[in-house]
Structure 1
Amino acid sequence: MFVGHYAAALAARAAEPRVPLWTYVLGCQAIDIAWSGLILAGVERASVDPSLPGSTLVLSHMPYTHSLPAAVLWSVAVGAGLMALLKLPRRAGVFIGLTVFSHWVLDFLVHRPDLPLLWNGPMVGLGLWNHPLPEEVLEMGLLALAGAAWGWRRGQEGQGWKPALAFLAFLLCLQVVPMLSPLGEGRLSLGGSPLVAYLVACVAAWMAEPTVAKPGVGRA
């Protein structure tokens, strides 16, 4: 699961428009941003097995980012932190937190059993990665549905469609690039390359929507 995570950001933006899009984009990948940092630091561990179908990642140790308790803590911390930093209403903070937690839920669908249900196990994951075509259909379907909801919200706000299409095209490029140039071994490749992609996506989201919705849109 890669760009499918951004579906949660677009859906949240459609449901609670008082939050900047880049904030949701940051939230939906906050767990993987932390994971990238811990991979670079050598705290969590991963490797690559080219013989695996679908994703070639072997995620051997990631209790601080991808265990269920860690996902809950990251969701609360990021939601509350951004709510306080950006002076957002409580409902907006809840939506940010839900966007963060959606990452673990979507990972559960596609990961092989490598997600710790507690800090160190048991390991869970439905393994859709082992079936690349259905996994790709799931990601693209989620992105299409959420993109349509986001487009509808932008229409309600009187915003143009070109920035939205440009951002969606950018996300599709993010999905294609790893297929053409798979991750290599080593911390820098495994942690650094994804981290750059996540941060560039935040910048692209800010460029697509540099301002938030007008006050009064959405519920309190």
Structure 2
Amino acid sequence: MFIGHFAASVAAKAAQPRLPFWACVGAAQLLDIGWGTLVIVGVEKLRLDPTLPGSPLDLYFMPYTHSLPAALIWSLLAGLLTARVWGKSGWWIGAVVFSHWLADLLVHRPDLPLGLFGPKVGLGLWNLPVLEMIVELGLLGVAMCIWVAKRKQARLAVRPAIGWFFAMLVLASINALPGEKLSPAGMGALALFGFAVAIAVALLVDRADRRRLG
């Protein structure tokens, strides 16, 4: 899952407008930001298997970012840190971080450890790529409709939010391209680049909102 993770970002922003959108977007992919970094340095491991249906990723070792205990710890730390900055609203950031693991549970094959190193779970929607993409787009689409309605009520421009949404569609299209020729480190670096773009475009939304309100 890639674009579907951002449904939680959009939902959090709609529920807590004072939260920066860039923080909501970064929170949704925090576990994968950690994963990409650890893959690059060789701590967490993956294989690329083009025979797999849907995603070619065989994520056989990622206990420090995608095990249930690790996801809870990352979420708690994110909530604690952001609550110091944005008060109780910051706990929404922690919830968005944990939403990543729940969404992965839906789409991943059994590669998410319930303990630090196992047993592993995953409902495997990746094996049905068309249905998986429908679910991802559906989740984000519903969240976007709610956010756009909230922005209209607050007399904020809708265009920046729609622009971010279409930018994510472009990223999702790139993410769907075959990546079997990339090394594991290359996959990690490509993931980090995609997350950086998503956060950067979210910063533009925040900037447009500040101008509108200022």
Question: Does TM, scored on the shorter chain, surpass 0.5?
Answer: yes
Could you tell me how far 1:183 is from its partner in structure 2?
5.2
Tell me what 1:217 maps to: none
Identity %: 43
Tell me what 2:200 maps to: 203
8 A Cα contact 2:50 2:180, kept in partner? no
Could you tell me how far 1:199 is from its partner in structure 2?
1.2
| Whole-Å separation in 1 of the counterparts to 2:14 and 2:31 | 22
Listed one character per residue, the Cα deviations across residues 159-197 of structure 1 (whole Å, up to 9, x for unaligned) are 111111110000101110122342534233111000011
1:97 aligns with 2:94: yes
Unaligned runs of 5+ in 2: none
- Residue 110 of structure 2 aligns with an amino acid whose one-letter code is P
1:177 aligns with 2:174: yes
8 A Cα contact 2:49 2:180, kept in partner? no
Unaligned runs of 5+ in 1: 215-220
- The alignment's C-alpha RMSD in Å is 1.5
* Equivalent residues in 2 for 1:53-68, closer than 5 Å: 53-68=53-68
| Whole-Å separation in 2 of the counterparts to 1:64 and 1:184 | 26
| Whole-Å separation in 2 of the counterparts to 1:78 and 1:126 | 26
- Residue 114 of structure 2 aligns with an amino acid whose one-letter code is L
- Residue 140 of structure 1 aligns with an amino acid whose one-letter code is L
Match of 1:116 among 113, 117, 120: 113
Partner secondary structure for residue 89 of structure 1: helix
Higher relative contact order (CA 8 A, sep 6+): 1
| Whole-Å separation in 2 of the counterparts to 1:135 and 1:50 | 18
Listed one character per residue, the Cα deviations across residues 28-86 of structure 1 (whole Å, up to 9, x for unaligned) are 000000000000010000111111111110001000000000000000111222232xx
8 A Cα contact 1:183 1:190, kept in partner? no
* Structure having the larger proportion of residues in helix: 2
Partner secondary structure for residue 47 of structure 2: strand
Could you tell me how far 1:156 is from its partner in structure 2?
1.7
Could you tell me how far 1:94 is from its partner in structure 2?
1.4
| Whole-Å separation in 2 of the counterparts to 1:171 and 1:42 | 28
| Whole-Å separation in 2 of the counterparts to 1:180 and 1:30 | 23
Partner secondary structure for residue 46 of structure 1: strand
Q: Closer, same or farther in 2 for the Cα pair 1:81/1:35, shift >3 Å? A: same
| Whole-Å separation in 2 of the counterparts to 1:203 and 1:183 | 27
| Whole-Å separation in 1 of the counterparts to 2:128 and 2:184 | 27
| Whole-Å separation in 2 of the counterparts to 1:180 and 1:69 | 32
| Whole-Å separation in 2 of the counterparts to 1:184 and 1:195 | 18
Q: Closer, same or farther in 2 for the Cα pair 1:27/1:166, shift >3 Å? A: same
